[in-house]
Each structure stands twice: as C-alpha cells, then as structure tokens.
Structure 1
Amino acid sequence: MQPPFEPLSNADVISRALEQLTVANDDPLPLLVQLFDAVRPGRSSSDQALQRWHRMLQLLEIPRYHDGLRTALLTLFAQRRQISLYSESGLLPNTGFFSELHRKLAHRLLPELADPAELRDCIRLLFHHPGDAAWLGAIPLEEQQAFWRLLTPPSPRMLEQISEACLVLSHRVCAMGLEPELLRVLPQLKTSRSPFLALHEELAWFTTEALRIEDETSPGEEDKRHLLVLTGQCREVVRRAHQQATAVAGTSMSLTFLLTRLEQHLQRLELLVGVLAIRVQTVADGEVMERWSVFLADAVLGELRRNSLRQHFADLTGQVALLVTENAARTGEHYIASDRKEWWGMLRAAAGAGVIIALLALMKIKGAGLHLPVLSQGLLNGLIYGGGFLLVHLLHFTIATKQPAMTAAAIAATVSQTRGRLRDQERLLELMVSTARSQFAAVLGNVGVAFPLALVIGLVAGLLQYEPVTLKKACALAEEVNPFTTLSLFYAAIAGIWLFVTGLISGYIDNLSAHSQVGPRIARLPWLQRMSGSSGAGRIGSYISSNAGGLTGNLFFGLMLGVTPAVGLMLGLPLDIRHIAFSAANIGYALITSGFMLQPSILLAAIGGVMLIGLVNLLVSFSLALWVALRSRGVPFSSVRSLLSPLRRRLFNHPLDFLLPVEQRQAPRTPQ
C-alpha cells in the first residue's frame, strides 16, 4: 500500500519540474537538478522521500512527462563520458586499504572538483545534498528500478561507451588473472591456455564488431553465448582458486581482495556484454534489461557513497570476515553430527572433556585459595583454563560452547551456496536441526560428566578427610550462578563473545599457517630432521600446520577466561565470565561440600542459572559468528529469518529431532 501523497503544493513543484523537461534543452543537467531538488525530502525523511518518489512515478505515467524525462536523461548520457561509471562504479579499486582511506579522508575534508563532462561527477551534481544517499537508499529497489527503466533500452551512444568500458574491464581482468598470487594457488594456469587471455581476445573482437550492425561479419547470438561461456570459465577459475586456497594452499588478505575484485569485474562484464548484445538481437533480453536498471540504481547509490568512511570500513570487515571464516566453515562441518553414529561420537568426545573440566574447576577453586595479587591470580587462572583446553584439543575431545562459532560458519557457507535466497530450504533446515542436535550432545556430555564427577571427587575427598571446598566457598559457588541476584547472564554473554573471538582467531591462524606453508617449512628445519629424522619432522610439521588454529584458539580462550575477571577488578568494572560446564562442576562441588543441604530456593536458582548460562553462551557466540559469516559472503542476515517458521513447525511436530539422533527423514519433493 502506497503512502498518502503530500499536499498539492509539493506535487506541483514536481510537475513543474517535469513540465520544463518536455521542452528541448541543450544541456538538461540544470533541469534534472531541479527535478531531484523537488523530489528531495526535508530532513532526509524516508517516508516523505517515498511519498515524493511515488508522486513522481505517478506523474511519469503521463506520456508527455515520460518522453520528456527519457529524452533529457538520454541527452545527459550522450553528452558525457560514461566509461568510468560502467567500469569503476561499485567495484573495488586496485589501491590498498590505507591508500583508499587517505583519499576518502582528503576528499571529505577538501571535496574534489566535479567534472561536468564525466557522468560519474554529474551524478554527484544531481544529488548534491549530503543526505541524498540516506533518503535514496531508503527507497525500495523496485521503486528505483521503475525510474531507471526510462534508460532501457540503451541508446547507440550508451552502447558505444559500454563497448569501451568492456575493453577496460577486460584488460583489468586479464591482468588480475595473471597475478602471481593467483598462479601460486592454481599453478596449472602457468602451463595451460589462460581463459582470461581467451576472454580478452574474444571480447576485443566482439566489442569492435558489435557496433557494425550492417557488416556481414558482425557477431550474432552465438558469439554472445560463446563470450558468456568464456566469462563463465573465468568465474570457474575464481571459484576453484577460492576452493583451493581454503582447502589446501591457504588464503591471505591480498588473495581474498584479488579474488573478490576479479569476481566483481567478471559479473560486471557479463552484464555489459548482455546489454551490448542488444545490437545483435531482434528482441531485447528482458532479464538483461532488468539487471541493467538494477545496475543503474546501484551505481547512483555507489557514487553517492564513494567517499563514505563507514562504507569503506564495512568493506574491510567483510573482506577480513571472509578471510577468517572460510576455515571455520570447513572445521565446522566436523562439529555437526548428521547421523546416529556421529551423534554418539560427539557425546563420547564431550564426555571426555567433561572429565577434564571437573578437574580444571577444582584446580581453579584451589588456586583462588592462594590469595595471589589480582593480575597474578588472573594469569594463573588463564593458564589453568588454557592448559586444560589444550589437553582437550590434544585428546580430540569436545567442549560444547566452542562449537557454535564453527558451525555458524558452516551454515553460512550453505546459505551462500544458494546465493542468499534460501532456495534449498529443506537442506538448510536439516543442517540447523543437526546443529542443534549436535550442540545438545556436546552439552549433555560436558555437563553430564563434569557435574557427577565433581560429586564423586568431593565424596572421595571427604572420605579421605580432605576438604576440597570450604562451606563458605560452596555457598559462594552456588550464589554466583543465580540469575536473579547476580550478573551471571551478563558474564555468560562475555564468555560467549570470547568464544566468538576465539573462532575468528582460529580461522585466521589456520589461514596464515596454510598460506605461509608453516608445515613444510617446519619439516625442513635441519635441527629437527637431525633429532627426529625426516619422516618424524614431516609428521611434526603436518600436525602443527593442521592444528595451529585450534591450539592457538584454545590457549587464547583459556587466557581470556582467566584474565577477564582480573581486568574487571583492576578497572572497577563488572567483568567476569560464566561457562556452563564449569558452572555445573562448581555446583557439584558446592552440593557435596554442603552435604546436599543447600536451601531448595538456592539450589533451584543455581540449576536454572546453569541452564540459562549455557543458553546465553551458545546464543551469543552462535549469533555473532553467523552474522560475521553471512556478512563475509554478502548474504543479508534477514535471509535466515525465513527459516524461523519451518523451524518452529519442526520443533512443535518433532521436538526430539533437536535432541536425539533419528532416522533421516525423507525430504518432500518440490515440483521442478
């Protein structure tokens, strides 16, 4: 439902601006500026912007206004150089992050001079108000497309400029396709015919001949298809390079940037070739024209945000996120139990970790009795946690709350495979149900062993006349997980954040290790070969290369759990951590020390607190990791919301599917 229109006076301003465009003008730029000044809302109000935009579209249904505005826009395009708009707008530049940051800062402080002969600069003259990007971005894409369809199909002058832009893009693609960083990942490109060179040669002929429509040698539909096949082959090389870097060779910031930029250029080439092929087609391709109008709308917004520092940092975080989440996605697949055998394996691995957690909880309790200085106590606790987590990793056990950061990346990778549209909802639904089931198995294994083992240790210690925990400490342990009287849930969220950061660090170190070839370099150390032989050195190098991220992440997570409370004490801030498995073990020690005489209200609050702590641990780390992983793949977080309804139905109809292993359900077939 469209919002109500504004008073007639505002509509008259837009209609007068459109009326002036019906008269032929040598330069329509000033009149187009007046039109967008009339459409521009006050105080960048998105509602008012949508109202005025709707009013303009309604007036454009009048043939006189429609034809006048189309003629003005075509004249504006014909009188300006358009190549930079097609070949640069919306694409990553070849400059580095800091060089581009310096340029943006300089232009924010001292705006660059606009060249009216360049179409890119004319866009900034049309939308010259600082708030234009905000209100224009608030208008739905479909509404913007309705306006830019005025430029479909493109004029002959536009096609000439598109042809030259294709050549510019082709040269860049060819150069990027021969970069040493790409050849390192795909060495076979050195010895075989490069598809990037073939694309450039074919495109050079196509763009030249496409404009000679009367010539009998001019290209046809078959030539366009062949060119798109070559473009597809180049995109397949990018996909294989990305896959190879993730799986074996390792990626880096420069390689991630290169592959992203290369993919952007190839996508732009596909679009422009489709538009250029209008000259050799009897009927314009409706899908291509739709993409062309989308491109024009995006290009305008891209130009208005060209010097945006926020957009610049958003692009950087997207690149870094992609760098560190790819390995996490690959690792996350091992944390998702898809059948009964894997579920029981997950439970056994988590139970093994539960034994270590019960011992670590006791060590931390006894360490607190040393009454060390605050920072020393924090470092001691961090070493206890970190050493225990390293042991868990070395023994191939599983800590439940460390899984979400990995499994979220695996889910995001599946989402990105469907281009963010969730076309295979059943597959994603099963993956999320399997993830929940795996998390339950891991939590059950950790808590189900750590809690009773703490009781057994306390009982045996009591029989040996040894008091592992004082009665005062037992009461404190029970009280510190009470969600009603303490900040335990806030502290659980802090632990969830550290879990998320741990996943990022593990992914980064895994990438760095593979990209830097740490394993082979360690295996070739002369002193290591003398000590353990060449085969032993090879095994050591292979192990370090495969486990560098896991070892580093576990040590970091342990140190953060120990140091965070100490930092909070020193700064006078409410900083602490709560972890479900350690909290459960602490309750076990508190119960056995008190002789199971804790007040029922305290005990119930403690049990409920442990459950809520686990829920917060999982939700915070999973949500953050999923958000970053989706962002790294350019998939909006809202794409996952469409799964909420089928997830609720599945939970209502088959609640045990989220907890226990079941026989695989036959997915309903969807009509083709």
Structure 2
Amino acid sequence: MLFNRLISIFRKYKQYEVDENKKTSLDLILNEVNPQSPLETRIEWLQKLVKWIRGTDLFEDAPEKAAATKIKYLFMVLERNSDKKEKIQKSLTLTLQELSSIEFFCEVGLPSQIGLIGELVDKLTEKILPKKPIGHQLSELMITLFPDEEDVQWLKSLDEQTLEKLTTLFDTNNETYPHLKSDIEEALIYLISQIVAIGLSPGIRKRIPHKRMKSLPFFYLSGKLNLYLKTKSENNNPALAQQLHEELLDLLMESQAAISEVYHHLDRFGVSTHLVFQLERMKLFLKRTHTLLDIVSTGHLTRTRISHFVAELVEQNLLQRNAMGIYSNNATLLAQKIIENNSQAGEHYIAKDKKEYVKMVKSAMGGGVLTALTVLLKNLLGMIGLNKFFYGAFSTINYAGSFLFIQMCGFTLATKQPAATAPALAKKLELAENREGIEAVTDEIVYITRTQIAAVFGNLAAVIPAILIINYICMSVTGHWLFSPDTAHYTLHSTDILGPTIIYGAFTGVLLWSSSVIAGWTTNWYSFHQLSYLITNNKKIKTILTADGAKKVAHFFDHEITGIAGSVSLGFLLGLMPEILKFIGIPLEVRHVTLSTGALTAAVSSLGVESLKSPEFVRAALGIVLIGFLNLSVSFLLALFVAFRAKKISSHRKALIFQSVLKRFYQKPFSFFIPKSST
C-alpha cells in the first residue's frame, strides 16, 4: 500500500515537471484569456504568456533578441485579432488594478531583515520552503514572472515602439489606477522610516564625527517627506511642492555623504559586517527613494525608464536572493581590513638587501632551535598515553606556547610568513598600472621568494643540530633515544613522498592561511572595539598597574595582538583540529615542514647512521621537500587570492605581473634565492 502510494507521488511529480517544462503555442495561450475569470486564473494565464515570451529556443545565444522578436510577433497576431487584443487589455488592466504595489516599490530587490545573519537565514529558508502564493501582491508576481538574469537583458533591450505597444495593453485610454499613487507614497514613507531608523542608530551615529543627532540629515527626512506629500496632495502651491522636493533630494545627497563618513571611520578603526550590512541597506533604500520621488514629482516616467526600472528591480531581486552574494558583498570591507592588518604584519617578513637577508636567516635559526623543543614536548605527550582529545588539547598548548615564545623572542617561523607577505604584496599591486609599477611588484615578489627560502633554510639549519643535541642528551641521561624504533619507523613512513604527504602538506598550508585570517580578524575586532582606549582608561587596570602601566599594556597589545592571535589560532589548528576531524571521520593530519624535519632528524638519529642509506629515508627526505613547498605555496596562494579579490585586481593586470615574473626568472634566476651585495 505504502509502495503504491510512493509510486503515485513519484508519477505526479514527474507529470508536474513535464507540465512545467512543456511548451505551449501562442494560439492556445491567447484562446485561454478571460477577463471575467478570477484573479488567480488571470495571473496563471499571464505567467503562461510571459513564459512563452521568455523562451529562447530560437536564439539560444541571444535571449534578449528572442524575447523582443516574440513580443513583436505577439502584436502582429493581436493586430489581426482585435477581439483577443481587447480581452487581453481588459484582463491585464483589471489584474493591475486588483494587485497591491506597495511591496513592489519598497521590498522587491531590497533586504528585508535588519541583520546579515537574519538575511542569510531568510534567503536560505526561501530556497527550502514552498514558494509563496502570489495572492494580491504585485511584488510576488514580478518575482515569479522574471526569475533569471536573462530577463534583465531583454527588459532593458526593448525599443520605444515595442514599449509603447506594451503600455497600451496595461493602460487602455490612459487610465490612472486609483491605488498606484497612494501605494508609491506609502512605499516612500516606509523607505524613509527605514533610512531614519538606520541613520540615527548608535552604531551609525557614533561614527559620524562631531555631529549631534539633530544636525544629521536623517533627522529631518521623515518630517520633510510628510510636508512634501501633504503639499503635493493639496495641489494648491506647486512652487512650494517643487521647493520641498529639491530639499528632500538635498537631504538624500547629504545622507549619502554621511554614509561615506561612516565608511571612512570603519576603514580607519575596524570593520563590523553588521554595520556594513546596515550601510548597504541604507544605500539601497536611498536609491529606491530617489527613483520613487522622481515618479511622484513628474507624475509619470518615460516608457524606457519604466522598462529599466523594472529591469533594475529584477536584477536587485536576483542579487538579494543569492545568499552567498549577500555575504560576499557585505564581507568585502572586512576582507580588506584583514588584508590591511596582515600586510602591516607582513612588511617585517620581507628582506630586501643582503643585511636583512642574513638577519632573517639568523632569526629563523632561533625559531628552529625553539621548534626543536616543541618536537621534544610533542614526543613526551605521545609517551604519556593520553586519549585523542586531551592529546590534541595539550598539543595545542605546546604549539601555541612555542609559537608565542618564538614571537616574543623576535625569532621567525618560516611557514607563518606566506599568509602575511601575500597581503603585503597585494597592497603594492594597486600601484602596478604601468611598466614601472609592474617591475616594482616583480621586485617585491623576488624579495618575498628569497626571504621565505632564507627563513626555511634558517629553520631547518637550526632544528636539525638542535634535535641531534637533544637526542644525544636524552640517550646520555636516560639510556634511551628520543624515539623508539617503532616510533622512528612510523615517522619515516609518515613523511614518505609516496604516501598521503601531498594531501597533509596542502591541508597544513590551508591551516596556516586560516590562522592568518583569524589574526587579521582579531586585529580588526581589537580596533573596532577600541580596546587600546579601554585598557588605557580602565579604572581597575590603572589602579593595579598604574596609569603608566596601563599605557604600556595597551601599547604591547597594539603591536602584538596580530602575532598573538596568529600564534594561538595556529596552535589550535595544528594541535586540536586534526583530532576533531578524525572524530567526525575525516582522517587528515598535520605536516609542518619544520616540525616534520625535527621529527625526521630524531627518527634517523635514533635508528642510527645506517638508516640514511635506506630508500625509506630518501623518500621521507623528498617528502620533507614537498611538505615545505606545499606549506608555503598553498598558504601564500590562498592569501594572495583573497587579497586580489579584496583589492579588486583585474585579470589583465595579474597576467602582466605573471609574465614579468617569468621573464625575471629567466634573466636572473639566482636573484630568487640569494641577494647581491649591492641590492
């Protein structure tokens, strides 16, 4: 019984799909029109007609031509059948009169929620839940009639003669729809109220410097609109109505300028996606208000302007329906701020001359020595026999503590460089608009490449002897090598180039980049909430540390917050993230070039010199090279990709830079590895 019911449901679903996709001839559609039918039936008929117009079977490569051609063909048919034309005119006119257009003017293409998360949830819910019935809403009808991007193209491409014929179908004898004017006025009232609410909210108001609430343009918008609409409806003082209209437009322009001030403040002091979303909402409301004011002031629009207005609504509606598009648009400033923060942190990672190059090698050697201690502690944790969660938790503390210690000592860990140097490079790309600029960017890429090579060399040159010394001390004190034979063989196998090393190395590169994103976001959060000011002026902190001590603490966090956030987050990602992924069935492991080199050194020294001759060691050594390449390249490319998107670097400019780098490598290959004394 249940099986038969399921079969029946499946057949009905297939039949529904067939009915939805089947093509109906124009003659059948025109024969179905009936002005006396209920509104729902007339709307279904209109959907069939527009669906026929939107069909692109004749012009697959140019949908706007197909739509325009079909509309012209429709009028050719109607000119020969005046009775059908009359029925269509009555049906469309009656339908438009019965539909409410308030939401059409103030909701279609505009965000409906007050927050970014709410808007994302709303759009995702719309994709899951059944579609809303059209009812008496013109807005829902427009969304149903024009669901695709191609609709924007053909609506904008209609010529004046075609638009004139379309107008006659909806507006016989130049009738004026009694509710249209009041609907536009109510839509204006709604839009202005939203602008005022957003503009006078604390988050926006506090970021417009040196202005009180009553001096803001938003404060006067509502009163000015009410006075304008009242004067316009009385129709006894056209000059005053015109003056009020111009004053309203001035207030809208001042509101736009106020939004620019807020963006400038966010750019300087940190970004909030919630505030950016509110600003984007207000910009859209202002634009729609300006359009509707034009309609109210002139009483009509040209036919071309009407088609463009409808096309703009369709386009905005498609953008708003795209959940990822909403997030992308509103996260742009945050991405730019993260890039800016990381680029500032990345400047000191770039060595431009031989002196800085040598300094980087020494700094990286210090990082390598401390990494050897990290390998030792990691091995001790493995010997304790902790469960997976606590092993990951203590590994996180080990990694984070080690990375923080390296930072506080002024040393360098090579793999933390790429995610910071890529944004620093992207910042320079904005200037690469001519040959000199592209050459300067190429120089920067050369500096970055050889600096990263220097850092890796310094890390590995120090971690290897440091591990050998630790292993010898361990043997002298305890009588046992750092690694047991089983652990040593497992370590060799874990970095084997023929194993999953390529996947683990790339995964680690993603984690390295992710830590830089977290570091940039934390710095933005620190600036946005003005923590430096709060620390300096907090009474409790000043009492405990004195005023001078509070300033020193604030100064410390001002300069170190990015590094601290990056070190702690990287410790968590390397230590606990693999264990969490294994728990949910994703067997990914971390392969960090410096840590893996230290572990491989400990394994080889524990097994003896003869292990250096084994094929297992050769494959493991090649695996280390691959791990280093993937750690650096994946994190660098991900950071550079995000930086390109945030800085809006064109594909053409990227191609020119790539060509310039290849040319430089062909002409001066050694400059990518070792600087000249004169450089």
- TM-score, reference length from structure 2: 0.70
- Alignment partners' CA distance in 2, 1:218 and 1:236: 25
Instruction: Give the C-alpha shift of residue 557 in structure 1.
Output: 1.3
What is the deviation of 1:552? 3.2
Q: Deviations over 1:204-244 (max 9, x none)?
A: 78888899899567759x987x8767545433422332332
Structure 1 contact 22–64 (Cα < 8 Å) conserved: no
In the alignment, does 2:232 pair up with 1:196?
no
Asked if the contact 2:361–2:457 (Cα under 8 Å) also holds between the matched residues in 1, the reply is no
Q: Which residue of 2 aligns with 1:452?
A: 461
Aligned CA distance change for structure 1 residues 367 and 247 (closer, same or farther; 3 Å): same
Cα shift at 1:333: 2.4
- Does the alignment pair 1:120 with 2:142? no
CA gap 1:433/1:81 in 2 versus in 1, 3 angstroms = farther
Partner of 1:557: 570
Q: Work out which of the residue numbers 48, 60, 64 in structure 1 matches 2:71.
A: 60
For the pair 1:616 / 2:627, whether they are aligned, the reply is no
Q: Do the aligned partners of residues 357 and 396 (structure 1) sit closer, same or farther apart at CA in structure 2, a change above 3 Å counting?
A: same
The residue number in structure 2 matching 1:296 is 313
Q: For 2:208 and 2:202, how far apart are their aligned partners in 1?
A: 10
CA gap 1:651/1:48 in 2 versus in 1, 3 angstroms:
same
Amino acid at match of 1:371: M
Q: Any idea what the Cα deviations from partners look like across 1:100-149, whole Å, max 9, x if unmatched?
A: 65898599657655332x3113235647xxxxx4xx35x48534543699
Contact 1:404 1:618 in 2 (8 A): yes
Tell me the distance in 1 between the aligned counterparts of 2:203 and 2:528: 11
Is the alpha carbon distance of 1:459 and 1:404 closer, same or farther for their aligned partners in structure 2, counting shifts above 3 Å?
Answer: closer
When residues 199 and 489 of structure 1 are mapped into structure 2, their CA distance, relative to the original with a 3 A threshold, is: farther
Provide the C-alpha distance between the structure 2 equivalents of 1:209 and 1:424, rounded to a whole number of angstroms. 53
Q: Which moved more, 1:601-610 or 1:187-196?
A: 601-610
Q: Secondary structure at the match of 1:482?
A: coil
Is residue 84 of structure 1 aligned with residue 118 of structure 2? no
Q: Determine if the alignment matches structure 1 residue 372 to structure 2 residue 371.
A: no
Which residue of the other structure, out of 192, 196, 202, is the alignment partner of 1:174?
196
Alignment partners' CA distance in 1, 2:211 and 2:78: 51
Alignment match, 2:495: 481
Kindly indicate whether the alpha-carbon contact (under 8 Å) linking 2:29 and 2:49 is maintained by their aligned counterparts in 1.
Answer: yes
CA distance in structure 2 between the aligned counterparts of 1:609 and 1:403, rounded to whole angstroms: 21
- Counterpart residue identity of residue 372, structure 1: I
2:260 aligns with 239
- On the 8 A contact 1:84/1:120 being kept in 2, the answer is yes
Deviation readout 1:229-278 (Å, 9 max, x if unpaired): 75454334223323323432x44454333223223323434555677787
Summarize the Cα distance change of 1:204–1:483 in structure 2 as closer, same or farther, 3 Å threshold: farther
Task: Report the AA paired with residue 134 of structure 2.
Answer: A
Report how far residue 84 of structure 1 moved.
1.9
1:164 to 1:262, Cα distance in 2 relative to 1, 3 A? same
Aligned residues: 620
- Mapped to 2, the partners of 1:609 and 1:342 lie a distance apart of 30
Distance verdict in 2 for CA 1:47–1:332, change over 3 Å: farther
In structure 2, the residue corresponding to 1:654 is in which secondary structure?
A: helix
1:469-618 aligned within 5 A? 472=485, 476-484=490-498, 486-526=499-539, 528-544=541-557, 547-567=560-580, 574-586=587-599, 595=609, 598-599=612-613, 605-606=619-620, 608-618=622-632
User: What whole-Å deviation, never above 9, does each CA across 1:560-600 have from its counterpart, x for those lacking one?
Assistant: 31234555676775221012343345556667776597348
Equivalent in 391, 404, 407 of residue 393 of structure 1: 407
Where does structure 1 lack aligned partners over 5 or more consecutive residues?
Answer: 1-8, 128-132, 306-310, 664-672
Partners of 2:110 and 2:284 within 8 A in 1: yes
Q: For 2:212 and 2:393, locate their aligned partners in 1 and report how far apart those are by CA, in whole Å.
A: 51
- For residues 271 and 13 of structure 1, the distance between their equivalents in structure 2, rounded to whole angstroms, comes to 38
Confirm or deny that 1:258 pairs with 2:278: yes
Alpha-carbon shift at residue 449 of structure 1 (Å): 0.2
**Contact kept? 1:166, 1:207, Cα under 8 Å:** no
Q: Tell me the distance in 2 between the aligned counterparts of 1:328 and 1:613.
A: 27
Deviation of 1:86 (Å): 2.6
Percent of aligned pairs with the same residue?
18
**Conservation of the 8 A alpha-carbon contact between 2:29 and 2:45:** yes
Shift of 1:402: 3.6
Aligned mates of 1:554, 1:364 — CA distance in 2: 16
Residues 395-414 of structure 1 show CA distances to partners (whole Å, capped at 9, x for unaligned) of 45554444555566778899
Segments of 5+ residues of structure 2 without an aligned counterpart are: 1-20, 80-84
Q: Larger deviation: 15-24 or 593-602?
A: 15-24
Q: Deviations over 1:282-311 (max 9, x none)?
A: xx798x7786354133255468x4xxxxx5
Aligned CA distance change for structure 1 residues 475 and 629 (closer, same or farther; 3 Å): same
Question: What secondary structure is seen at the aligned counterpart in 1 of 2:100?
Answer: coil
Displacement of 1:371 in angstroms is: 0.9
What secondary structure sits across from 2:660 in the alignment? helix
SS at match of 2:25: helix
Residue type at the aligned position of 1:557: L
Report the residue type matching 1:93 in the other structure. S
> How do residues 301-340 of structure 1 correspond to structure 2 at under 5 angstroms?
301=318, 305=321, 311-312=322-323, 315=326, 319=330, 321=331, 325-335=335-345, 337=347
Question: Match of 2:16?
Answer: none
Note closer, same or farther for the CA distance 1:103–1:57 as it changes in structure 2 (3 Å cut).
Answer: closer
Matching of residues 346-361 of structure 1 within 5 Å:
348=359, 352-361=363-372
How has the CA–CA distance of structure 1 residues 183 and 601 changed in structure 2, closer, same or farther, with 3 Å as cutoff? same
Amino acid aligned to 1:292:
F
Q: Kindly indicate whether the alpha-carbon contact (under 8 Å) linking 1:506 and 1:553 is maintained by their aligned counterparts in 2.
A: yes
* Cα 1:112/1:335, change in 2 over 3 Å: same
1:18 is displaced (CA, Å) by 7.1
* 1:437-467 alpha-carbon deviations (Å, 9 max, x no partner): 4652452232110111134435666898869
Report the CA distance between 1:385 and its aligned residue: 1.3
Letter in 1 for 2:75: R
The CA deviation at 1:479 is 4.2
Aligned residue for 1:189, secondary structure, equals coil
Distance 1:577 1:103, change over 3 A: closer
The aligned counterpart of 1:142 is 153
Which residue of 2 is the match for residue 4 of structure 1? none
Is this contact kept in 2: 1:210–1:279, CA < 8 A?
Answer: no
Give the structure with the higher percent helix. Answer: 2
Counterpart CA distance in 2 for 1:111 and 1:52 is: 26
Whichever residue aligns with residue 612 of structure 1, its letter is L
| 3-state DSSP of counterpart to 1:371 | helix
CA distance in 1, matches of 2:274, 2:138: 31
In 1, Cα distance between the equivalents of 2:264 and 2:470? 54
SS of alignment partner, residue 454 of structure 2: helix
> How far apart are residue 58 of structure 1 and its match?
2.4
Whether the 8 Å CA contact 2:400–2:571 is kept in 1: the answer is yes
Are the counterparts in 1 of residues 368 and 461 from structure 2 also a CA contact under 8 Å? Answer: no
Secondary structure of 1:188 counterpart: coil
| Residues 15, 322 of structure 1: alpha-carbon distance in 2 compared, 3 angstrom cutoff | same
Distance (Å, rounded) in 1 between the aligned partners of 2:580 and 2:337: 31
Aligned position for 2:12: none
- The separation in 2 between residues aligned to 1:338 and 1:381, in whole angstroms, is 28
Question: CA, structure 1 residues 617+146, in 2 after alignment: closer, same or farther (shift >3 Å)?
Answer: farther
- The whole-number CA distance in structure 2 between the counterparts of 1:632 and 1:46 is 39
Distance 1:233 1:525, change over 3 A: closer
For residues 388 and 56 of structure 1, do their structure 2 counterparts lie closer, same or farther at Cα, with a shift above 3 Å needed? same
Shift of 1:331: 0.9
